[in-house]
Amino acid sequence: MKRLLLCVTILITLNMCFALETTLSEQPVGFASVDALGLNGTTGGLGGKVVYVKTGEELEKWSSSEEKYIIVIDGEIIFEPRREIKLTSNKTVIGINNAKLIGAGFIIKNQENIVIRNIHFEGFYMEDDPQGKKYDYDYINIEGSHHVWIDHCTFVNGNDGAVDITKFSSYVTVSWCKFVDHDKVSLVGSSDREDPQKASDSYKVTYHHNYFKNCIQRMPRVRFGTVHVFNNFYSAGFRTNVSGNVVPLYAIASTTNARVHVEANYFMGFGAKLMEEANVAFIPTTVTAGSSPEGYLSLGNNEAENIFVYCKEPQVKFLRESEPVFEPRQFYNYKLNSANEVPKIVVENSGSGKLVFVDIET
């Protein structure tokens, strides 16, 4: 009996070690924190009524409401048929009790001030459409919207995008998320044909402390925008049990005159030295993708230096020789972890099911 109690105590202690206490009023780091376009950062539904949902019908009802709400997804919800749920302005959507959306995602179109945290997304891979051309489902699709914070979510193996940011969206932060076995992870910018001035003024996005595990490309793939990528862990391995792309291609792509600054990330390629010498190793950063013209990309130095293991040489392109293509601290403050700390910190703390909201009932 004593041994059983000891084992239970150890399990509880281990679970507590990986539980991260947070509040509904916690603020993002990065572009979602910036005062702009009439908003003082991103607060979501803070101050609104708290509603708990356990069914798809309840989630769709509150997500599309015009009022301010804090929507708490309690446990797993399975959608059949699959669908993208309309999510409107001034909403916070959080998960408790290992919240999962199976076969559903959110579409955020012409909205503002939205927070999504602690939710697992799965079920958008369809074997008859491995490239995402037929169904075009994204787990989170942000179009023409601003001030969106996506935090501590998990995205597993979808057909199209996991988090796509298009149609001149801006002031977005994607933080502490886990992306697993996904092909086209995150697109920033709709096409090369968008109005270049409007697009350059938009697409301000931050990615930090995310875990990209066995993903193929677009982590992110940027057109026109101003994007900061720091303290992410890229673990490139073969994607399994799919008919689509299985071999990792590249992590970060800056195209169409985008400005992307990359700091203190850890890039771990796949295979061994032989693959590196055979010139089929993982590309950590590139300034080309598809038929798009080149973008600008700079790497951090000194304490912001990145680490590259079993990767091809990272590509860079400067506006001014050896200078960052933009300075993130002109927009917001942030604290960097050193790149050699990133794998442990990010693996232990990223993804859904890690947050405990101390100011709501669970």
Active site residues: 218
Among candidate residues 157, 161, 177, 180, the one with its CA nearest the CA of residue 169: 161
Summarize the chain as % helix, strand, coil (round to 5).
15, 40, 45
Helices (H) and strands (E) counted in the chain, each on its own, are: 5, 27
Q: CA–CA separation, 121 vs 357, rounded Å?
A: 19
Determine the residue type at 147: H
Q: CA–CA separation, 73 vs 59, rounded Å?
A: 8
**Residue position matching structure tokens 């999504």:** 116
Per DSSP, 145 falls in state -
Among candidate residues 328, 330, 90, the one with its CA nearest the CA of residue 208: 328
Q: CA–CA separation, 314 vs 329, rounded Å?
A: 24
Inter-residue contact 158 to 182 (CB < 8 Å): yes
Among candidate residues 76, 103, 121, 181, the one with its CA nearest the CA of residue 352: 121
Phi and psi based region of residue 32 (left: phi greater than 0; alpha: psi -120 to 50; beta: remaining): alpha
Q: CA–CA separation, 33 vs 115, rounded Å?
A: 12
